[in-house]
A and B are shown apart, each in its own frame.
Chain A
Amino acid sequence: MQNSLLIKADNLSYKINESKLFSGISFALNNNEALHIIGSNGSGKSTLIRILGGISEPSKGNIIKKEDLTISYLGHKNALKSYLSVRDNLDLLDLMDNKQIDNLLAEFDLTNKLDVTLGNLSFGQQKKIALLRIFINEADLILLDEPFVGLDIEMCEILSDHLNKKVEEGSGLIFTSHIASGIRANNFNLD
């Protein structure tokens, strides 16, 4: 796929109750590129991801997106129903009939957990289920907010490999993380 601009931030600034969180943020992302947003706690990384996703409006500056940009997102919350079983949750996401789902479940070691209520799984296991939709989705831009939290070392490597492959195949990736990841990305410092 040719190199095209996915998203461009132009002099963004954000205020909460008239006190400035960050200002003057500018960057551009093409497909086949990954961007790692670094910053100390409270510097506005999650807010920046939400602005890029289109949920929050920046106080100043604007975002230029490619037309019909499809975004795949995983934030701090998993967006899964804890009172439904894993199978029902995957049904809700329309993932059960996908061919790759069985391979992925085997890779994450979760094949025998399909009928367990999601609330009974551990935090890391729930996160793995939430990550499934990132892997299967064919989106232009992947936004991840602290994706490595709660995952064991093996899973972190699997996640990094999958994301690297996705970037090579043509998606763009923006993520925040405190942990040194194995993802080949440019760094962007918010402080």
Chain B
Amino acid sequence: MKVKQSLKHELIKLLKKTRAWLGPILVFILIMVAYPLTVELTNQSLADAFFPVLFISCLMVMMLATEGIFLEDYEDGSLEHLLITGGSIYQSVFIKILVHWCFIGVPVSIFGALFNIGVGNTVNSSILLLPSLLVSTYIFLILFCFGNSLSLTKGSVLGTLITMPLLLPMLVILGKLTTAIMFNINYFGFLILLFGILSIIMFIFPAIISKIIKTHLE
């Protein structure tokens, strides 16, 4: 199947299920709004403590976004059919992750950067934050998809449990990134590191996920 066709298919499938992409975005906004309300701190502490909350809620929202991402295609036989009639599961997985990122990851990053200004940080820090959020939401999405594909038929709790260990190094990097943003040191180094990780993961993981799905279909 050609790439454009595949893209169109995944777009149709995702757009028709508004709950699937609107839900995580709304959850994210809810958490962001709840943060200043529930945490009674001074303005400065609010701004300082914002970054961890931002990254953790990005993480949780990406987890929500990948719930059942492959299960639906698996259960109604589309994956099986695709495999037998000679289609490429790699392409389907890659485009599915890309489309999910465009509709969930990008809005979440933009809202995160806006809320960053809202809690009192400088606009400069938001501008620095946006690319790193975009890249890290993509990385989270890929990792959660990996865990989801491993536990395709057994529910998503197992999958999340499995992926958590792989995510923690990412969180460590993001922690270092926030210090870099706050004190404006070595920021581009971390950004390049994130881009490097993304460029490796973006093309390798869909191949691994497609092998795992083929194993499930056996």
Contacts and interface: CB of A to CB of B under 8 A. Distances in A.
Interface string A42-78: 0000000000011111000000000000111101111
A33 interface: no
Interface stretch (A2-10, A80-88, A146-154, A157-165): A80-88
A115 interface: no
B67 interface: no
Given A71-B86, A79-B81, A84-B12, A55 B76 contact: no
B16 A77 contact: no
A115 B12 CA distance: 15
A96 interface: no
Main secondary structure of the interface of B (DSSP, over half): helix
Contact of B16 (A53, A56, A78, A83): A83
A102 interface: no
A91 B12 CA distance: 10
B218 A57 contact: yes
A70 B12 CA distance: 26
A44 B80 CA distance: 18
B74 to A, nearest CB: 9
B78 A84 contact: no
A153 B137 CA distance: 53
B84 interface: yes
A91 B5 CA distance: 10
Contacts of B81: 73, 75, 79
Nearest to A77: B77
A88 B12 contact: yes
Interface in B80-100: 80-81, 83-86
Nearest to B13: A81
Interface residues on A, range: 20 to 34
A77 B75 contact: yes
> What 3 A-B pairs are tightest by C-beta distance, nearest first?
A77-B77, A79-B81, A53-B84
B218 A92 contact: no
Contacts of B217: 55-56
B9 interface: yes
A56 B81 CA distance: 13
A79 to B, nearest CB: 4
Contact of B218 (A56, A70, A78, A81): A56
A185 B69 CA distance: 41
Contact of A77 (B9, B80, B83, B214): B80
Contacts of A12: none
A143 interface: yes
Nearest to B75: A77
A71 B83 CA distance: 10
Given A70-B86, A81-B13, A55 B77 contact: no
Contacts of B17: 83
B142 to A, nearest CB: 24
Nearest to B72: A81
B76 A78 contact: yes
